[in-house]
Amino acid sequence: MQRELSKVFSKPRTLRPVAMHYCPGCGHGITTRLLAETIDEIGVREKTVGVAPVGCSVLLHDYLDIDMYEAAHGRAPAVATGCKRVHPELVVFTYQGDGDFASIGTAEAVHIAARGEKITTVFINNAIYGMTGGQMAPTTLIGQKTTTSPFGRSVEQTGFPIRMAELLATLDGAVYIARVSVHSPKNIIQAKKAIKKAFETQIKGLGYSMVEVLSQCPTAWGMTPIESTKWVEEKMISYYPLGEFKAPKRGLTNGKED
């Protein structure tokens, strides 16, 4: 029996060979890689256009070797719509955070889903505004301390966190809506499946797809990376349950033939 070691895991083609600026342990790096792997496995690198948000992932165009826009805060779905209407044959996605998708961009988020645009959104939910220094987000949990909820978020002052996946799933134009997490390898594997299904939803022309990715944010949460993954597991998932909230009954391969 010959023993050859073959490479079974390496950087995907669509990911540029550069260091990413994200903080140590951040879920953005993992999700960016999953996005690149998906684009490679489906084989659409040269017909994919991405729209980067304002937030920690504003530099996404430095990491993915595809055409990319940088949109104004919250407006990525509108920018993506403009592109997709001009080039319906392209695979167009937006990559957005809490501020972009759940705060300033909620109108754009609702309407891209309502219109059923054949566009995919990858929405990173880390319950905070990372890039600007750790302010409260609409997804910040009750009691969570941030730089603008220094005493802990209170229901009386600022109401309840928004569950974007459930919200958009009520819209008929939204065809595939899932929530996943990247805080452990097992969940990362599930996250990738969901991202792939979301892209397939678009490619098959079925409608709008969105994958909400729960991510750790060690820096803004004031924790070590490992502690932050525990916080996702123990604190976030009970409020933001994982799963598919909407999926077409037929038409997606889920990695196997349908």
Partner 1 sequence: MGKIVIDENLCKGCTLCINACPLHLIRTAQRINAKGYYSAEFADKEGRCTGCTLCAITCPDVAIEVYREKKTEAKK
Partner 2 sequence: MEKKFMTGNEAIAEAAIQAGCRYFFGYPITPQNEIPEYMSKRLPEVRGVYLQAESEVAAINMIFGAAGAGARVMTSSSGPGISLMQEGISFIAAAQLPCVIVNIMRGGPGLGGIQPSQSDYFQATKGGGHGDYHMLVLAPHTLQEAVSLTMEAFDLADKYRNPVMILGDGCMGQMMEPVEFKKTPPTNIPTKDWALTGAKGRAPNVLKTLYLDPVALEKKNLEINRKIQEMITNEVHVETYQTDDAEVAIAAYGTVARIAKTAIKVLREKGLKVGMVRPISVFPFPYETFEKIANKVDKFLVVEMSFGQMVEDVKLGVCGKARVEFYGRVGGMIPSYEEIVNETVKFVKEAN
Shortest separation between residue 89's beta carbon and partner 2, angstroms: 28
Residue 151 found at the interface with partner 1 (CB under 8 A)? no
- CA–chain centroid gap for 257, Å, is 25
In the set 48, 57, 96, 103, which binds partner 2 (CB under 8 A)?
103
Contacting range for partner 2; rule: CB under 8 A; set: 23-31, 32-40, 67-75, 216-224: 67-75
For residue 60, give the 3-state DSSP assignment: helix
φ/ψ (deg, to 5) at 221: -85, -10
Residue 251 found at the interface with partner 1 (CB under 8 A)? no
Burial class for 177, CB neighbours closer than 10 Å (0-12, 13-18, 19+): buried
Residue 219 found at the interface with partner 2 (CB under 8 A)? no
φ/ψ (deg, to 5) at 236: -80, -40
Q: Looking at beta carbons only, is 127 or 252 nearer to partner 2?
A: 127
Contacting range for partner 1; rule: CB under 8 A; set: 24-32, 95-103, 136-144, 161-169: 24-32
| Host H or E run for residue 110 | helix 106-114
> Kind of pairing, strands 208-214 and 174-181?
parallel
Shortest separation between residue 96's beta carbon and partner 2, angstroms: 14
Contacting range for partner 1; rule: CB under 8 A; set: 27-35, 109-117, 162-170, 242-250: 27-35
Residue 250 found at the interface with partner 1 (CB under 8 A)? no
User: 156-195: which residues touch partner 1 (CB under 8 A)?
Assistant: 184-185, 188-189
Tokens for 184? 């452990």
For residue 197, give the 3-state DSSP assignment: helix
Q: Looking at beta carbons only, is 184 or 254 nearer to partner 1?
A: 184
Residue 232 found at the interface with partner 1 (CB under 8 A)? no
- Spatial CA neighbour of 125 closest among 152, 107, 102, 156: 102
For the chain, give the number of residues. 258
Residue 225 found at the interface with partner 1 (CB under 8 A)? yes
Tokens for 234? 């123990």
Catalog residues that contact partner 2 under the rule CB under 8 A.
54, 58, 70, 72-74, 99, 103-104, 106, 129, 131-133, 135-136, 138, 147-151, 157-158
